[in-house]
Amino acid sequence: MARKDDKYVQAIDGKKIPILTLDQKWHRLFTQTGVSAEIKRKEEKVNELLKKQGGLQTRQKDIKRLKNKLMQEVLSSMEGEEKPKGRSREENGKLIEECNEKLEEGGAALLEVEKKLEKENRELMVLSMEVCYDLMQENGEQIEQIDEWINQMRIELKKNVVRKQQKELYNQELYTYMHDIFGPDVMELFDLKYQPKLKAAEKEENSGGEKK
């Protein structure tokens, strides 16, 4: 893994890393982006080693259980109890030795698998950190662009508010001048989509007078 991952390797050096594929929070990291082919391969490798580890652990437990049973039979025969059917003390002793050999072999195999599992899991951690960092960088750039757009829109909004107020004031002045010159009857001939405040006030007065 010779890439820009040195800082990530250093960051997790000496730390106990939980098995990522067993952590639902790790899986949720990729719910929106999906898993890259490289991470997928590493995930499968970790799961394969987990399965192998589980099989070895189960086998070790079974052998220990058998060994304990054999030792109990040997102790029982030494205490003068009835000899177990089908096996002598010597046979049990030989089986116990075989169990010890298998436990030693299984322990070595288990240790080897655990080392590989830790290595693969750490590499998966580094890959995940890389992906998350790249995504955060990309999102950060987009956030800056959106923020810049929002600020620009705020400036444009303020400008347009000022323009609107200026045009409203100008319309109000025009209407006032024309009203003074031509009178209200003539002003009614103007089909104004935007009604100045003065005209709106006149309508309110007229409607109020009609009600009376």
Top-confidence residue, 117 or 33: 117
Confirm if 99 and 67 have CB atoms less than 8 A apart. yes
**Which DSSP category does 35 fall into?**
-
The dihedral sign for the CA sequence 53, 59, 64, 65? positive
Structure tokens at 99: 């169990």
List Cα–Cα distances, 175 to 53, 161, 199, 203, in angstroms.
Answer: 89, 21, 8, 14
- For the entire predicted model, the pTM comes to 0.66
The 10s digit of each residue's pLDDT in 67-109 is 999 888 888 776 655 555 556 778 888 999 999 999 999 999 9
Q: What is the mean predicted confidence (pLDDT) over 155-180?
A: 90
Count CB-CB contacts under 10 A for residue 66. Answer: 15
Confirm if 20 and 26 have CB atoms less than 8 A apart. yes
